[in-house]
């Protein structure tokens, strides 16, 4: 609930102010180039910090007939206002070492003038300035609410900079860039608000009023400038500006603004007549201006520009995230009391909704009367025979935003008839309480007399479509219907532009006892490929793609291992394809499943899941320790890979090969048995930073995850999520 409040605040603040923020950011990017542009002028002397100010005054006075003032800007360039009977007069940049004019004062270019007016006041004068001030404040609040959301998401302040669990591109980079630009944006907004308050005199800047000691307005003892006691140890970089005396009268002093104070200096004796420190508010005002504009520091100006660019990305990604959530609104064809199947969805960010909606649509196509609702909308469903609950888990094992009231409602609302239920948990193994809320829901329903467990609770890691598909198979088989949910991900929604790949080598499924075969193929046009990436293959123009894990092969470029299914469209298509023919496919990057060349790795695969590992072993030129657990029926199943694995063992690219054959003895041996047998060794490897990679069936993945969870808890006293977050557990299962 609290999370939702912060999320709604973040969103509503952003929506209400995004136009102004957009304008401020775009103009901010332009204006950040002003100090960069200014710094590019070559006016600066060697070092202001070694130039005594008395020396500079002397040089100026001897070079010009009259000197009115001198100013050192934030960049360290010196501007003098002088008058001369012959030679240069007016305001210009000088070399303070020689007093010679070195450049004219540039006027603000029309682009910067335009951007400044728009940035400061939207061309609306005072009214505009008020809007801009308020926008700054709103952006500050957006930043703070964003920070709180990140703290909640990362589960603690200390974990802010821990690895972000990747949900999707937009939310990942929204958080990633948000963390990077947090401090600069806070500085931009706080200084922006402060400058607005100063502008409207809500915080008044203090004008210094010197009280003059009349006794010090004397002409004696006269000193030469270098002997002025007041100017001793003052160098040009301590100075902001100097107003020179108007006349030769002793009551006309030098007015020298230093970084933190202002002094009046007698022009004859060099004594300090008055000294006033700048009030804090004036100092803050100066710093605020420089921090907000980037004046005086090119690196800071670049950071400001980058922060403004990231604000533009936040607007874009923020809308994309919101649209994704809105798209997951639920629609019904049947009323709740006529539905025989009720689907309830618990979702925080909309991911689970997409799966539930797909399932609903397919059931309706099957002629079923289905009603879908959020979990918190639990009510009496008069004809409900089957209840299916899809729910994610949030926080640390907590219900998602729209399921907070579900358990209370479930206990208070009485259904008229008994019904069967199944719970599917959507979660991530990167969190210690994996799918906990789904298990909590299942437990409550299990304990109730009216609800009967139809299927055991089923978990889905990282929105795996394959895992979902397998659950749908289980459920529909048990109900006695056929439901085929189409894959609904970014790859399939829009068919990507395919490329041609040539088949260079193939074995035949009929040659293997498991109907498995390998294909070596190469793209016609060169492209960068890494083992662990996926190849989306389209058997025909109108078909959905099928994804296969790539092993990068020296000889053929891409190596795929495929199991032929009796009615499998793509596997049959590939099995029938001839060497030399071309197919349509798209490479899909899968960076979460790439081999880390500098880590020891434990690879666990069943069947065709070995393909990406073959590629990775080939890449293992550094000869890191690789242990391969592989599960198949018998040695004959292994023949198709044998040559390659033997050569890796011989050349040291594979350290140990541990096969688990399920059909050679009475007792079936699966990879999870070998993993459990080697528990201590695996726990130690994890402690030493090794990576575990799993590729193969979802069923195997579930068993291995179960074993690893036990191993981590029993030997290392850590949850498996600890290693997953550190990138030590990588999975690609189907
Ligand atoms: C802040 C945050 C906390 C999460 N906490 C858990 C958790 O405790 N257990 C878990 O299994 N998954 C957790 N997840 C993962 C989500 O449950 C998972 O990504 C799910 O697919 C999201 O579905 P939704 O988009 O429908 O909410 C968390 C995700 C985030 C962003």
- ipTM at complex level: 0.98
At residue 176, the 3 state secondary structure works out as helix
Q: Would you call 67 helix, strand, or coil by DSSP?
A: strand
Q: How far does the centroid of ligand 1 lie from the alpha carbon of residue 378, in Å? A: 22
- Residue of minimum CA distance from atom 5 in ligand 1: 394
- Shortest-distance Cα residue to atom 29 of ligand 1: 394
Q: How far apart are the CA of 235 and the centre of ligand 1, in A?
A: 60
- Distance from residue 336's CA to the centre of ligand 1 (Å): 28
Query: For atom 9 of ligand 1, which residue has the closest CA?
Result: 434
Q: How far is the CA of 393 from the centre of ligand 1 (A)?
A: 5
Kindly give the distance from the C-alpha atom of residue 459 to the centroid of ligand 1, in angstroms, as a whole number.
12
Mutate which of 176, 322, 428 to test ligand 1's pocket (most atoms within 8 Å of Cβ)? 428
User: Residue 446: which of 401, 482, 410, 497 has the closest Cα?
Assistant: 410
Cα 163 to ligand 1 centroid, rounded to whole Å: 15
pLDDT of residue 492: 40
Residues near ligand 1 (Cβ within 6 A): 153, 167, 347-352, 392-397, 400, 426-428, 431, 433-436, 463
Distance from Cα 392 to the centre of ligand 1, integer Å: 6
Cα separation of 464 and 455, whole Å? 19
- Which ligand 1 atom is the nearest neighbour of the CA of 348? 27
* Bridge pairing between strands 499-506 and 458-461: unpaired
Atom of ligand 1 nearest to the CA of 463: 21
Query: Which residue out of 427, 436, 709 has the highest number of ligand 1 atoms within 8 Å of its CB and is therefore the one to mutate?
Result: 427
Instruction: Please identify every stretch of the chain with a pLDDT value under 50, giving residue numbers as ranges.
Output: 489-493
Residue located via tokens 């670049």: 302
Q: How far is CA 501 from CA 281, 520, 578, 611, 626, in A?
A: 69, 10, 12, 18, 31
Query: Distance from the CA of 159 to the center of ligand 1, in angstroms?
Result: 16
Cβ count near 108 (within 10 Å): 11
Distance 428 CA to ligand 1 centre (A): 6
- Ligand 1 centre to CA of 155 (Å) is 12
- Give residue 315 CA to ligand 1 midpoint distance, Å: 23
Rounded CA gap, 657 and 14, in Å? 55
- Looking at 399-525, which runs of residues are DSSP E strands? 419-427, 451-453, 458-461, 499-506, 516-523
User: What number does the ligand 1 atom closest to the CA of 328 have?
Assistant: 26
Which strands sit side by side in the sheet containing 254-258, from one edge to the other? 101-104, 90-94, 78-83, 66-72, 239-243, 254-258, 261-265, 272-277
pLDDT at 162: 86
**Ligand 1, atom 6: nearest CA belongs to which residue?**
394
Q: Which residues contact 713 (CB under 8 A, 6 or more apart)?
A: 719
Query: Pocket of ligand 1, candidates 10, 327, 393, 465: which has the most ligand atoms within 8 Å of its Cβ, to mutate?
Result: 393
Distance CA(562)–CA(503), nearest Å, equals 14
Instruction: Judge residue 559's burial from the number of C-beta atoms within 10 Å of its C-beta, 0-12 exposed, 13-18 middle, 19 or more buried.
Output: buried
Q: Which atom of ligand 1 is nearest to 398's Cα?
A: 8
In ligand 1, which atom is closest to the CA atom of 461? 21
- Closest-CA residue, ligand 1 atom 12, reads 427
CA distances from 39 to 212, 301, 541 (A): 39, 10, 58
Closest ligand 1 atom number to CA of residue 155? 1
Rg (CA), the chain: 36
Q: How far apart are the first and last CA of the chain?
A: 35
Best of 156, 163, 348, 434 for a ligand 1 pocket test (most atoms within 8 Å of beta carbon): 348
- How far, in Å, from the CA of 347 to the mean position of ligand 1? 9
Q: What distance in angstroms lies between residue 394's CA and the mean position of ligand 1's atoms?
A: 5
Q: Which atom of ligand 1 is nearest to the CA of 353?
A: 26
At 473 the three-state DSSP class reads helix
pLDDT at 542: 65
Cα 437 to ligand 1 centroid, rounded to whole Å:
10
Ligand 1: residue whose CA is nearest its atom 1: 153
Closest CA to 135 of 475, 563, 143, 331: 143
Residue 151 class from Cβ within 10 Å (0-12 exposed, 13-18 middle, 19+ buried)? middle
Q: What is the pLDDT of residue 240?
A: 95
Place of tokens 């728009």: 118
Distance 375 CA to ligand 1 centre (A): 16
Which of 326, 392, 401, 440 has most ligand 1 atoms within 8 Å of CB, for mutation?
392
Give the separation between CA 653 and CA 625, rounded to whole angstroms: 8
How far apart are the CA of 553 and the centre of ligand 1, in A?
Answer: 36
Q: Which ligand 1 atom sits nearest the alpha carbon of residue 460?
A: 21
């Amino acid at each position: 609930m609290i999370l939702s409040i912060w999320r709604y605040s973040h969103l509503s603040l952003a929506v209400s102010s995004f136009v102004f923020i957009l304008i401020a950011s775009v103009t901010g990017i332009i204006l950040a180039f002003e100090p960069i542009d200014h710094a590019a002028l070559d006016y600066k002397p060697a070092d202001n910090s070694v130039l005594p100010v008395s020396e500079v005054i002397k040089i100026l006075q001897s070079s010009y007939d009259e000197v009115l003032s001198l100013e050192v800007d934030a960049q360290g360039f010196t501007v003098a206002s002088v008058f001369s009977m012959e030679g240069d007069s007016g305001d210009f940049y000088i070399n303070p070492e020689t007093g010679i004019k070195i450049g004219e004062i540039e006027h603000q270019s029309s682009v910067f003038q335009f951007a400044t007016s728009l940035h400061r006041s939207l061309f609306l004068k005072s009214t505009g300035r008020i809007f801009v001030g308020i926008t700054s404040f709103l952006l500050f609040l957006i930043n703070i609410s964003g920070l709180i959301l990140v703290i909640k998401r990362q589960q603690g302040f200390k974990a802010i900079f821990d690895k972000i669990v990747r949900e999707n591109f937009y939310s990942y980079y929204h958080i990633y860039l948000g963390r990077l630009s947090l401090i600069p944006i806070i500085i931009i907004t706080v200084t922006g608000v402060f400058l607005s308050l100063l502008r409207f005199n809500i915080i008044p800047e203090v004008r210094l009023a010197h009280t003059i000691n009349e006794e010090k307005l004397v002409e004696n003892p006269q000193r030469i400038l270098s002997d002025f006691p007041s100017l001793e140890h003052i160098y040009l970089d301590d100075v902001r500006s100097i107003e020179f005396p108007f006349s030769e009268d002793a009551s006309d002093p030098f007015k020298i603004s230093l970084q933190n104070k202002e002094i009046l200096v007698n022009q004859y004796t060099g004594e300090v007549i008055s000294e006033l420190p700048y009030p804090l508010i004036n100092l803050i005002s100066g710093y605020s201006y420089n921090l907000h504009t980037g004046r005086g520091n090119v690196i800071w100006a670049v950071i400001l520009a980058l922060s403004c660019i990231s604000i533009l990305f936040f607007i874009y990604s923020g809308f994309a995230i919101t649209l994704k959530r809105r798209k997951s609104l639920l629609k019904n064809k049947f009323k709740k009391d006529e539905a025989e199947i009720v689907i309830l969805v618990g979702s925080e960010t909309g991911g689970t909704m997409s799966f539930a909606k797909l399932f609903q649509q397919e059931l309706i196509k099957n002629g079923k009367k289905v009603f879908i609702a959020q979990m918190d909308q639990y009510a009496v469903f008069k004809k409900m025979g089957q209840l299916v609950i899809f729910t994610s888990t949030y926080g640390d094992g907590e219900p998602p935003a729209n399921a907070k009231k579900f358990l209370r409602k479930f206990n208070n609302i009485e259904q008229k008839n008994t019904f069967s239920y199944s719970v599917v948990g959507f979660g991530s193994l990167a969190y210690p309480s994996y799918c906990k809320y789904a298990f909590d829901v299942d437990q409550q329903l299990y304990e109730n007399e009216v609800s009967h467990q139809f299927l055991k609770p089923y978990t889905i890691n990282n929105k795996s479509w394959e895992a979902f598909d397998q659950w749908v198979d289980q459920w529909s088989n048990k109900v006695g219907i056929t439901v085929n949910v189409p894959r609904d991900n970014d790859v399939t929604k829009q068919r990507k532009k395919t490329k041609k790949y040539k088949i260079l080598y193939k074995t035949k499924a009929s040659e293997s006892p498991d109907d498995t075969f390998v294909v070596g193929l190469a793209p016609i046009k060169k492209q960068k490929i890494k083992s662990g990436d996926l190849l989306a293959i389209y058997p025909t123009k109108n078909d959905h793609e099928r994804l296969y894990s790539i092993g990068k092969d020296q000889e053929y470029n891409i190596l795929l291992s495929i199991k032929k299914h009796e009615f499998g469209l793509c596997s049959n298509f590939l099995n029938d394809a001839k060497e030399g023919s071309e197919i349509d496919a798209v490479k899909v990057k899968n960076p979460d499943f790439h081999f880390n060349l500098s880590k020891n790795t434990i690879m666990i695969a069943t069947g065709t899941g070995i393909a990406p590992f073959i590629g990775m072993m080939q890449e293992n030129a550094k000869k890191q320790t690789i242990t391969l657990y592989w599960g198949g029926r018998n040695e004959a199943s292994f023949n198709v890979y044998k040559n390659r694995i033997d050569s890796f063992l011989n050349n040291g690219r594979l350290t140990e090969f541990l096969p688990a054959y399920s059909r050679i003895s009475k007792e079936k041996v699966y990879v999870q048995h070998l993993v459990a047998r080697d528990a201590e060794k695996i726990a130690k490897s994890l402690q030493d930073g090794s990576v575990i990679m799993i590729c193969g069936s979802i069923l195997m993945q579930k068993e291995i995850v179960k074993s690893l969870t036990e191993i981590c808890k029993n030997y290392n006293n850590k949850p498996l999520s600890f290693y997953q977050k550190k990138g030590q557990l990588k999975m690609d299962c189907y």
